Structure 1
Amino acid sequence: MNRTKEQFEKLLNKYIDKSCSLEELKELFSYMELPEYEERLKIIMDENYTSLVPGTAAEQVDWEEMFATITGTSTPKKVRPLWAVMIPVAAAVLLILSVGILIWGNQGQVKDSSGAPAAKLKKDIAPGGNRAVLKLADGTEIVLDGHATGVLANEGKTKISKTKDGMLLYDASGTDGTESSVNINTLSTPSGGQYMLILPDRTRVWLNAESAISYPSVFSGTERTVTLTGEAYFEVTKDKQHPFKVKTGAAEIKVLGTHFNIMSYADEGQTQISLAEGSVRVELGKAAQILFPGQQALIKPGTTHIALKQVDIDEVTDWKNGLFQFDNTPIEQVMRQIKRWYNVDIVYEGIKPDLYITGMVSRSNNVSKILELIAETGGVNFEIGD
């Protein structure tokens, strides 16, 4: 690999801006084994880390372990430990402490309920995976993660199948869109579950944990309408004659063909509609807003106002790519995401920490691996209970 100072600075800037691809991240970490880049890394990482935790000295870190935690992989060779922690890495480590039953204390040391250091914990919690239940129009429920691949059911002329790569596929090619009866199906995911769905019109839907989407087994009429609770990412098939509509709470989102994310969990206190490509129209009673790429609409329950703001679309949608990504995200919001993905309860004792998290980490990590890194940061106590 031909390493240059110019390339190093380019990769470092992209990493700080969170526009670094996985391959570029691997290349950046390869520089960390070279002494000539150590001083530059020390300065940048120390500045960022101390801005996150004022008055806190940066700790020595094993970069191979850090890299594996972020990506869910490992570096091709051992890299030298360096002083300081780059801010996205440090924050990503902090957030994982929420797994299990969390108790915040003030003793500045991480221990489990027996008093042992977190790094020596034998108990582990696996991440979530492809888990979902399909409810057919006649009330039949099919547990998808325990079912073999192939045809699951037929509703009219629509064939419903589980594919070899773990997706739920609706094949409505034998229909003509004039069916008189409407068969509504519901796909739901539990805590620690996610699933991908291909609707009868070939629209792709990624369903996050603790979510449900209801839809007809074949779209007929002038609109393609689905109902969502929880969170999902949509890649809508274009069809100008049949607009696509998502109903979530009191809001309706109308599109012709575009990519967008909807987050509508009850415990989040608001619905968020975030646009990646194209445009969507968000309606709330008589109020309406048109979104453009990079914009997010926010709707609070019981209101008729639609607020707009600019967002980092990767931060919003990277959950479907196997990553937690946070940008100055309040710790309680981070904890709720961890709770849903690891299927755990979180309990706070005493004053809740006023922390904001910036960083990314692979959703494929088991808890124990992250806790070993947490043990080095200090500042928080926790217990994992049954």
Structure 2
Amino acid sequence: MHKDELIALSAKITDGTATDEEIVRFNAYYDALLATGGDVPGYPDEEALLQGIRGRTKPAGTIRLTWIKAAAAAAVLFGIVTGAWMVTRKDAPSIAETHQQQPDVKPGTNSAFLTLADGRRISLDDVQPGDVASQGNIKITKTDKGEVVYEAQPSADDAGKAASWNELSTPRGGQFRLLLPDGTKVWLNAASSLRFPATFTERERLVVLSGEGYFEVATDKKKPFVVQSASQRVKVLGTHFNIQAYTEEPLAKTSLLEGSVEVTAGAVSTKLSPGEQSRYNSKTMRIEAGPADVSAAAAWKNGYFVFNDTYLSDVIRQLSRWYDVQADFSSLPPIRYTGTIPRTVPLSSALKMLEITGNVQFEVNQNTIYAR
């Protein structure tokens, strides 16, 4: 079995789609990992492994007991096999050393507030699937999948009317999906907000983003779609892209997966092609653009943190927003990470993955992450 196959198997274990045979195969690798005391194991001879699987495979009712071990171990092994979690320090501690008792902080959930033009603020956590509210000829519903949908029935009376602005906001530890009246799909990450008109009656479809959002824009050549944030303006016709524009982050990043976009900050503009990312520094007021792993930038909407040579401080900022905790950044060493963490695991498991890879350990005290 090749390393990339093991990565895919770890992902299936994590999301619960693995078969009984795959679970047994995974456990064999995990047993090898434990036997090495935390070093990345070799990839056992395939035929020998299959013989072991055939000898251990039992009816589903019994085999499912091994899924418990597999699911608990998947997060750890998943992080190890995805590029061996490259860091600048080489003296990695063993698994036994990293199994420190950590407060169990649960991962974030689908959680958001919807603020209507008339000031009504609706907690979408408490709303059952079905009708949420109505504004004039706008119907707002919540689907079984937890998505808020705006359905508009434009009329001649809409012409010349001022837009009625709504806002969808997520707390720390929350995320949510939104379908705008033009058919554009939006995913909002934790601690983010999107202001948008209930109907797009102007010459451009303008929305205002704070935080991070992934957009799949419905094509309308007559009305460009514009995402305005605190430091930049992104203009498109129809495309898929991710914008990270948190005020506490040093850079505003726009990552393009499909189509094309124009990013403008002040008097400076740049156009992106698929596979490129722009990075705007508000201190230097400069935009840099170039090739990037843009799929990693948008991985959060699919349930993963993906890091590519990312500084620990950036990693911890992302974790702190999703798990709704604080962090003592003064204690973090200047090391970098490459790897993947499922967003479904508790904070203690996420931190253990980081501990395995470098000479750093974490503790959570009074809802704050400390490195030691």
TM-score (ref. length: structure 1): 0.73
Deviation sequence 1:271-295 (CA, Å, 0-9, x none): 1011000000111232211100111
Following superposition, the deviation at residue 354 of structure 1 comes to 2.0
Q: Is 1:380 matched with 2:360?
A: yes
| 2:217/2:237 contact within 8 Å kept | yes
Following superposition, the deviation at residue 140 of structure 1 comes to 1.2
The equivalent residue for 1:67 is 74
The equivalent residue for 1:211 is 192
The gaps in structure 2 that reach 5 residues or longer are 43-68, 367-372
User: What is the percent sequence identity of the aligned residues?
Assistant: 35
The equivalent residue for 1:333 is 314
Report the number of matched residues.
324
Q: Is 1:239 matched with 2:239?
A: no
Following superposition, the deviation at residue 117 of structure 1 comes to 7.9
RMSD: 3.6
Q: 1:242 to 1:89 in 2, by over 3 A?
A: same
| 2:351/2:362 contact within 8 Å kept | no
Q: 1:33 to 1:339 in 2, by over 3 A?
A: closer
Query: Distance in 2 between the 1:155 and 1:275 partners?
Result: 33
Following superposition, the deviation at residue 34 of structure 1 comes to 7.2
| 1:70/1:362 contact within 8 Å kept | no
Query: Distance in 1 between the 2:263 and 2:178 partners?
Result: 23
SS at match of 1:340: helix
| 1:258/1:279 contact within 8 Å kept | yes
Query: Distance in 2 between the 1:70 and 1:132 partners?
Result: 32
Following superposition, the deviation at residue 166 of structure 1 comes to 0.8
Q: 1:289 to 1:174 in 2, by over 3 A?
A: same
1:67-146 to 2 correspondence within 5 Å?
A: 67-68=74-75, 85-86=80-81, 88=83, 90=85, 118-121=99-102, 123-146=103-126
Following superposition, the deviation at residue 214 of structure 1 comes to 0.3
1:276-291 to 2 correspondence within 5 Å?
A: 276-291=257-272
Q: 1:298 to 1:14 in 2, by over 3 A?
A: farther
The equivalent residue for 2:251 is 270
The equivalent residue for 2:133 is 153
Query: Distance in 2 between the 1:134 and 1:158 partners?
Result: 14
TM-score (ref. length: structure 2): 0.76
Query: Distance in 2 between the 1:86 and 1:344 partners?
Result: 27
The gaps in structure 1 that reach 5 residues or longer are 1-7, 48-61, 72-83, 95-105
Query: Distance in 2 between the 1:212 and 1:85 partners?
Result: 34
Q: More relative contact order in 1 or in 2 (CA 8 Å, sep 6+)?
A: 1
SS at match of 2:321: helix
Q: Which segment is superposed worse, 191-200 or 159-168? A: 159-168
Query: Distance in 1 between the 2:222 and 2:357 partners?
Result: 56
